[in-house]
Amino acid sequence: MNQLLPFKLGTEVYALELPEIQEVVENPQIHDLPGAPETLAGAIAFHGRIVPVVDLPLLLGFPAGNRFDRLIVLSDRHGPMALWIDQMCPIMTLNLSHETLSQSSSEADCIRGVLNCRGEIISLLDLDQLQAKLEQLCAENGG
């Protein structure tokens, strides 16, 4: 059984597996980093470390809107990094192998799988691709 944390980006629902997440932080102060691309909203001070904040909807091409007041801080393996999302949904527990619709991965959207859960389409976020995309963006922008 796997546990997922789903969240909304625009009208679509994405999700991350719990092991990929370290913590959810509320109302953090996001400090702007001058010279950074727009998709990098800034950085927060998290347990004494500087953690970059990614405007996830913006990065994946969703329209700019009101972001939620909570950030998903990713675990060390993918981090440090925090994701800013539109809306958070309650944790769901399900069996990934059963419910998976397709294992296809879409690079552009950073999706590594799609689920159909009780009628809802949930896309699993691919963090490695996300990171790669970010690095590319920064290299283009800054390099």
Amino acid at 53: V
Q: What kind and span of H or E run contains 112?
A: strand 111-117
Stretch that binds other proteins, among 37-45, 59-67, 98-106, 110-118 (CB under 8 A): 37-45
* Contact string 95-124 vs other proteins (x = CB under 8 A): ------------------------------
Stretch that binds other proteins, among 34-42, 60-68, 100-108, 110-118 (CB under 8 A): 34-42
DSSP string, 64-91: P-PPPSEEEEEPGGG-S-EEE-SEE---
Contact 9, 85 (CB under 8 A): yes
Stretch that binds other proteins, among 36-44, 98-106, 108-116, 117-125 (CB under 8 A): 36-44
At closest approach, how far in Å is the CB of 64 from other proteins?
A: 18
Q: Given its phi and psi angles, is residue 130 left (phi above 0), alpha (psi -120 to 50 degrees) or beta?
A: alpha
Q: Which residues contact 60 (CB under 8 A, 6 or more apart)?
A: 9, 109, 110
For other proteins, the binding residues (CB under 8 A) are: 3, 5, 17-19, 21-24, 26, 29, 31-36, 40, 43-45, 48-52, 70, 75, 79-81, 91, 131, 134-139, 141-143
